[in-house]
Amino acid sequence: MRALRLPSLCLPRSEVALGRDPSGRYLPSIVAAMIFLAAVALAGALALSAAAARWQDALSGTMTVEIPPAASDRTAAALALLRATPGIARAEAMSRERIDALLEPWLGKGERLVHLPVPTLIDVTLTSGARVDTAALEVRLAGVAPGAAVDDHRRWLDGVIGLARVTFGLALAVVAIVGVVAAGAVIFVTRAKLAANREAIDLLHLMGADDHYIAGHFARQGLVQGIQGGIVGLLAAAAALAAMALVLRAVDPALGARATLSLGQAATLLLLPPLAGLIAMLTARRTVLSALARVI
Amino acid sequence: MVRFQNVGLHYGEGRDVLSDITFALGPGTFHFLTGPSGAGKTSLLRLMYLAQRPSCGKVTMFERDIANVPRDELPALRRRIGVVFQDFRLLEHLTAFDNVALPLRVAGVDEARIKTHVEELLTWVGLGGHLEDRPVTLSGGQQQRVAIARAVITRPRLLLADEPTGNVDDEIAVRLLHLFDELHKIGTTVVVATHNPSIVARFAYPTLHLEDGRLTGDRRGAAA
Ligand SMILES: Nc1ncnc2c1ncn2[C@@H]1O[C@H](COP(=O)(O)OP(=O)(O)OP(=O)(O)O)[C@@H](O)[C@H]1O
Ligand SMILES: [Mg+2]
């Protein structure tokens, strides 16, 4: 019976194609799994650092001044002082409705709120590029409204930026580990293929094929299988990330809208499959050359 | 072309398979290599097709002492040698056409020339209708002819054939030997290891006779 011969899409010159390939499916699937992990880790890190950058942009020109309930009759004086401070473009007390809305998630809605003493909050906008010494401002404000506190969101932002940095470092570590594991898989698979195709390789040697000729076939196969696996892994990661974005949007539309990748960041992820192909190609080549160097 | 001086061979820790082999083959000569099974015919050919380095003694091929040829220069020497292996060594996953094309592809010949040459030669050995067949679908004798076509497709300067007529009837055996003879006439050096006395008798060429790993002299045209 004639064996079914599938058209070889990836290796048109299959004459030396190393016949049956016990591990031909194994390599693309392990690369796919690795690229999935790398892509999810990278996408998460990129989205977080993008969000941190946007938060920093949005918040760096603003401050919030909090005047305790006991000093709420000093609000006008505090506003006057703020408006007279160089670098401050605008200072506006928040309406009671806005404050109630901010507190609602914690305290609930209802009559009781009306009687609850709440601090007065003042939104401060800086003239663009201006820096205001928060500590000095706080001291001066305490003079007109005892207990007034200035929050320039720095502590919170520093926390978010730090988190973004750590996450990014972790993602890079994941990518590096994934690269090493994938290269290990390529070495393992290539050795298995060498063993399975020993006769063919001996024969090629006796016909005068040099090591580079033989290694070239393995390298091409590695390149193709690495890219195939990379594309599958990336598609799976894209699906997983899209699902996550949907869930996030349902939970909090504002957060969902922030957690998106820019075109440049998406392009970074598109580099993963060719990178996987390159690693597979170079590793396969090296493995074959070093194995062949031991035969006559 | 080929010169052996006091060559000995043993595999690993084993006993000597060849001992004290000395002979020379001039360019364009034709020799039979005879001897009982296990005498070392295949082992001697392996040394000639550079699958093996000798355990002792000196092997000179194409005027080069094999002991001094660096590894990366062996492929160029091997490309001048065509081999018909005793067990054919056809690649199962390739068609007859692709098996025969293999040495040409290794040598980087372009596909158009490969197509004409391979089809012509396979037709000549009577396999014109089997170009796309895999080895498993061919009979032993047909596989042998594919193996022979693969060995001669590059017009090698040295042709080594190990029992090339073991699986075919005498008529085809003679036809194949005529093919070797044609190559010999255009200058190829030929060595044919065989058990077949009628073939040796039919072609009046010198014989290297091996007994238990030793050469027992050239017997010119003698029927074994
Ligand atoms: N790879 C090997 N490893 C160890 N011993 C071997 C190997 N190949 C052959 N031998 C031994 O070398 C001896 C000669 O074998 P060889 O194959 O050269 O004989 P031959 O003359 O070709 O025999 P035949 O006519 O049966 O093909 C035998 O005793 C065999 O067992
Ligand atoms: Mg033999």
Ligand index nearest the alpha carbon of residue B36: 1
Per-residue pLDDT, A13: 43
Q: Is B180 exposed, middle or buried (0-12, 13-18, 19+ CB in 10 A)?
A: buried
Find which of B106, B137, B154 to mutate to test the A interface (most A CBs within 10 Å of its CB): B106
Instruction: Tell me how many helices (H) and strands (E) chain B has.
Output: 7, 10
Same domain, residue pair A50 and A142? no
Is B177 strand, coil or helix? Answer: helix
- CB of B79 within 8 Å of a chain A CB? The answer is yes
List residues bridging with A237 in a β-sheet: none
A136 in a domain, yes or no?
yes
Same domain, residue pair A251 and A135? no
Same domain, residue pair A166 and A248? yes
End-to-end, the C-alpha distance of chain B in Å comes to: 26
Q: Give me the residues of chain A with pLDDT under 70, please.
A: 1-24, 109-115, 255-259
| Helical ranges in chain A per DSSP H | 26-60, 75-84, 96-107, 112-115, 134-144, 154-196, 198-206, 211-251, 253-258, 263-270, 272-292
A273 in a domain, yes or no?
yes
Same domain, residue pair A162 and A18? yes
Nearest CA among A61, A122, A60, A130 for reference residue A91: A122
Q: Give the ligand 1 atom nearest the CA of B40.
A: 18
Residue at which a domain ends, from A93, A117, A147: A147
Nearest CA among B203, B89, B219, B63 for reference residue B143: B89
Q: What is the pLDDT along chain B (224 residues), one digit of tens a residue?
A: 999 999 999 998 889 999 999 999 999 999 999 999 999 999 999 999 999 999 999 999 999 999 999 998 999 999 999 999 999 999 988 999 999 999 999 999 999 999 999 999 999 889 999 999 999 999 988 998 999 999 999 999 999 999 988 777 888 888 888 889 988 999 999 999 998 888 888 888 999 999 999 998 655 443 33
Distant-in-sequence, close-in-space partners of A62: CB < 8 Å, separation ≥ 6 = A123, A124, A125, A126, A152, A153
- CB of A204 within 8 Å of a chain B CB? The answer is yes
- CB of A200 within 8 Å of a chain B CB? The answer is yes
Distant-in-sequence, close-in-space partners of B100: CB < 8 Å, separation ≥ 6 = B118, B121, B122, B146, B149, B150, B153
What is the domain range of residue A238?
Answer: 13-57+157-293
Q: Is B87 in the pocket of ligand 1 (CB under 6 A)?
A: no
Same domain, residue pair A115 and A259? no
A6 in a domain, yes or no?
no
Share of chain A above pLDDT 90, in %: 30
Same domain, residue pair A275 and A185? yes
ipTM score: 0.89
Same domain, residue pair A98 and A185? no
CB distance B134–A17 less than 8 Å? no
Residue type, B60: T
Q: Whose CA is nearest to atom 30 of ligand 1?
A: B38
Asked if B75 and A208 touch (Cβ cutoff 8 Å), the reply is yes
A99 in a domain, yes or no?
yes
Same domain, residue pair A238 and A288? yes
Q: Give the ligand 1 atom nearest the CA of B195.
A: 25
Same domain, residue pair A218 and A126? no
Asked if B166 and B138 touch (Cβ cutoff 8 Å), the reply is no
Structural domains counted in chain A: 2
How far apart CA A34 and CA A181 sit, in angstroms, is 8
Nearest CA among A75, A40, A9, A10 for reference residue A261: A40
Residue at which a domain ends, from A114, A147, A180: A147
Q: Whose CA is nearest to atom 9 of ligand 1?
A: B43
What is the best residue among B7, B9, B17, B49 to mutate for testing ligand 1's pocket, by most ligand atoms within 8 Å of CB? B17
For A:98-137, CB contacts with B below 8 A are none
Per-residue pLDDT, A1: 38
Per-residue pLDDT, A226: 93
Shortest distance, CA B223 to any CA of chain A (angstroms): 32
Per-residue pLDDT, A11: 35
**Would the CA dihedral through A271, A276, A277, A279 be positive or negative?**
positive
pTM of the model: 0.76
Same domain, residue pair A127 and A246? no
> At how many degrees (to 10) do helices B111-124 and B96-106 cross?
130
Per-residue pLDDT, A50: 82
What is the best residue among B11, B44, B215 to mutate for testing ligand 1's pocket, by most ligand atoms within 8 Å of CB? B11
CB distance B78–A16 less than 8 Å? no
List residues bridging with B81 in a β-sheet: B158
Same domain, residue pair A107 and A247? no
A5 in a domain, yes or no?
no
A182 in a domain, yes or no?
yes
A170 in a domain, yes or no?
yes
Residue at which a domain ends, from A119, A147, A175: A147
Q: Is A48 exposed, middle or buried (0-12, 13-18, 19+ CB in 10 A)?
A: buried
Q: Whose CA is nearest to atom 8 of ligand 1?
A: B43
Per-residue pLDDT, A12: 35
Tokens of B152: 């001669």
Which of B72, B91, B98 shows the shortest C-beta gap to A210?
B72
Query: β-pairing, B214-218 with B64-65?
Result: unpaired
CB distance A204–B107 less than 8 Å? no
A8 in a domain, yes or no?
no
**For residue B72, what is the nearest residue in chain A, using CA coordinates?**
A210
- CB of B106 within 8 Å of a chain A CB? The answer is yes
Is B55 strand, coil or helix? Answer: coil
Same domain, residue pair A191 and A46? yes
Contact residues, chain A, for B161 at CB < 8 Å: none
Contact residues, chain B, for A293 at CB < 8 Å: 71
CB distance A15–B72 less than 8 Å? no
